[in-house]
Amino acid sequence: MIYQRSSALFAEAQKVIPGGVNSPVRAFKAVGGDPIFVKEAKGAYLFDEDGNRLIDYINSWGPMILGHAYPPVVDAVVQKAKKGTSFGMPTEIEIKIAELAVAMVPNIDKIRFVNSGTEACMSAVRLARGYTGRDKIIKFAGCYHGHSDSFLIQAGSGAVTFGSPNSPGVTQGTAKDTLLARYNDLEHVESIVNSNKGEIACIIIEPVAGNMGCIPPVPGFLEGLRTLCDAHDILLIFDEVMTGFRLAQGGAQELLGVDADIVTFGKVIGGGLPVGAFAAREEIMNHLAPLGPVYQAGTLSGNPLAMAAGLAMLTELHTQPEIFKSIEEKTAYLHKGMAEVLTAKGIVHTINRLGSMISVHFAEDKVVDFDTAANGNNDTFKKFFHGMLERGIYIAPSAFETWFITDALSYEDLDETIKAVESIANHL
C-alpha cells in the first residue's frame, strides 16, 4: 500500500501542531513510521488520504462500536445541528439520555455529562474527595484515566509509550496524593490501605484494563477491592470509559457483577462526539454543585449535538441487546483464528480478551499487570503492526493499547485479518 499523501500531510502538520497530532499516540512513535491520515470512514473501514481501504480495529479508540458513520447516529446529529449547536442552557435531550443511561447501568441514580473521559475521571475523583473529606487516592500502574495531573503517575496508553510516566508539569504535591498499586494484586492494595488508614478517598480502576493492552481482572480481584473499600469507607470508582456500554448494557459492573460507588464513562456514550460522564447513587451525586459544595462545570457540557449522538447510540444498544453477544462472538472468532496461526508458526504470544476488547502481546508469560505487559517483545510488535498495515489492517500502534471490535466487521473481514496475521507470522 502507498502512504505518500499521508506522509506529506504529516510533514505539513508537524510545522503547526506539536508532533503533528492532537493526541500523542496517533503519531506512531511506539512503532515508527508516519501516521495515516484518514479522509473518511464507513462501517468497518477507513479510507485514507492515499485512497487505501483499511479494516479498522481501533474505531476511534472505542466509540464506534457499531461502525463508522452509523446512519441513526449521523441522522440524529444532522437534524440537531439545524436547530442550533450550543446554548449553554438546559435542554430536554439531556434528560432523555440521562434517563436512558440510568436505566441501562446498574447501581446509579444520577449522571452528569462532561466533554471527555479525562474530565469524567478528574471530576469523579474530586467528588470522591469532597464526599469523604480525604485527599489520597489509589490508582493502578498501567491504568490510564485521562491526562489530568493526579493520574499521570505510571499511567498506561500513550503515557507509557512515550516513556514519561511521570510527566513534567505534575507537581510533587499532586503526586504525593496518588498511591500506586499493582493491578490484580489485592494484597498489595490491602497493604497500601492499611498503611494509610483513614486517608484514602477512593480507589480508581479500569475494571478491565485496556491501557496496557487488554488485561482482565483475575477472579476475586474486583470483589476483594469492593470488600476492602466497604471496610474502610473508601469509594470504589470504576473507570468505564472503555468498558461502559461495550462489555454489556451496564458495562463491567453488570458483566462482572461488582458494584462501584462512582462510574465514569466516555467513548461509546458519545457515539463518536466528545462526551464523558460520571454517575453514582443519589447521596453521592447530590454533593455536586449546584446542589452541593463540590464544584464542576462546563460551557459545552450537555451539548445538543453530542447528546443527540449519544442518545442515538445508547438507544440502538438498548433496543438491540443482541449486539453485545454479536461483538463478543466476533472477537472470540478473531482470538481463536489469530492464536491458531501464531501458534502454528511458533510465535511466542499471549492474547488477552474480554468481551469485545482484545490485544496481542508478544510475551511468553501471562500478561496480568503492567510489569508483565512491559515484558512483551516490542520489536516483534513493531513488525507485526507494520505487516498488518501493509496488508490493509489498522490495529493500535502500540502494544499498550486494546483493539476495539465493532459490530460492523463481517466474518469475511475477520478471515482477511487472520490471513494477514498468518502471512506476517512468517516474517516475525
Asked if 359 touches ligand PMP (CB under 6 A), the answer is no
Q: Which residues pair with 361 in a beta bridge?
A: 350
Which segment (72-80, 142-150, 164-172, 336-344) binds ligand PMP by CB under 6 A?
142-150
Asked if 401 touches ligand PMP (CB under 6 A), the answer is no
| Residue number, 402 or 417, with CB nearest to ligand PMP | 402
Whether residue 268 contacts residue 62, with contact meaning beta carbons closer than 8 Å, is answered with: yes
Asked if 56 touches ligand PMP (CB under 6 A), the answer is no
| Residue number, 158 or 376, with CB nearest to ligand PMP | 158
Asked if 145 touches ligand PMP (CB under 6 A), the answer is yes
Q: For the segment 161-200, give every residue that binds ligand PMP (CB under 6 A).
A: none
Q: Which residues pair with 415 in a beta bridge?
A: none
In whole angstroms, how close is the CB of 212 to ligand PMP at the nearest point?
A: 11
Closest residue to ligand PMP: CB criterion: 117
d(CA 405, CA 14): 31
Q: Pick the catalytic residue: 56, 177, 239, 369?
A: 239
Backbone CA torsion sign across 133, 135, 136, 139 = positive
Q: Pick the catalytic residue: 3, 144, 183, 394?
A: 144
Give yes or no: 144 in active site: yes
Q: Which residues pair with 68 in a beta bridge?
A: 43
43, 67, 146, 376: residue in contact with ligand PMP (rule CB under 6 A): 146
Asked if 270 touches ligand PMP (CB under 6 A), the answer is no
Helix (H) or strand (E) holding 166: none
In whole angstroms, how close is the CB of 153 to ligand PMP at the nearest point?
A: 14
DSSP symbols for 226-282: HHHHHHHTPEEEEE-TTTTTTTSTTHHHHHHT---SEEEE-GGGGTTSS-EEEEE-H
Which segment (132-140, 206-214, 228-236, 319-327) binds ligand PMP by CB under 6 A?
206-214
CA distances (Å), origin 404, targets 322, 355, 358: 17, 10, 7
> Torsion-angle region of residue 296: left (phi > 0), alpha (psi -120 to 50) or beta?
beta
Asked if 210 touches ligand PMP (CB under 6 A), the answer is yes
Q: Which residues pair with 389 in a beta bridge?
A: none
Kindly state the cell numbers that stand for 91.
435542554
Q: Which of 342, 327, 343 is nearest to 383 (CA)?
A: 342
Backbone CA torsion sign across 267, 270, 276, 281 = negative
Whether residue 413 contacts residue 65, with contact meaning beta carbons closer than 8 Å, is answered with: no
67, 266, 376, 397: residue in contact with ligand PMP (rule CB under 6 A): 266
Asked if 239 touches ligand PMP (CB under 6 A), the answer is yes
Kindly state the cell numbers that stand for 166.
511521570
In whole angstroms, how close is the CB of 124 to ligand PMP at the nearest point?
A: 10
3, 37, 61, 238: residue in contact with ligand PMP (rule CB under 6 A): 61
Give yes or no: 239 in active site: yes
Which segment (39-47, 96-104, 172-180, 236-244) binds ligand PMP by CB under 6 A?
236-244
177, 206, 328, 369: residue in contact with ligand PMP (rule CB under 6 A): 206
Preceding peptide of 290 cis, ω within 30°:
yes
> 196: which residues sit within 8 A by CB, 6+ positions away?
136, 179
Asked if 118 touches ligand PMP (CB under 6 A), the answer is yes
| Residue number, 264 or 377, with CB nearest to ligand PMP | 264
Q: Which residues bind ligand PMP (CB under 6 A)?
A: 61, 116-118, 121, 144-146, 157, 206, 210-211, 239, 241-242, 266, 276
- Residues serving a catalytic function are 144, 239, 267
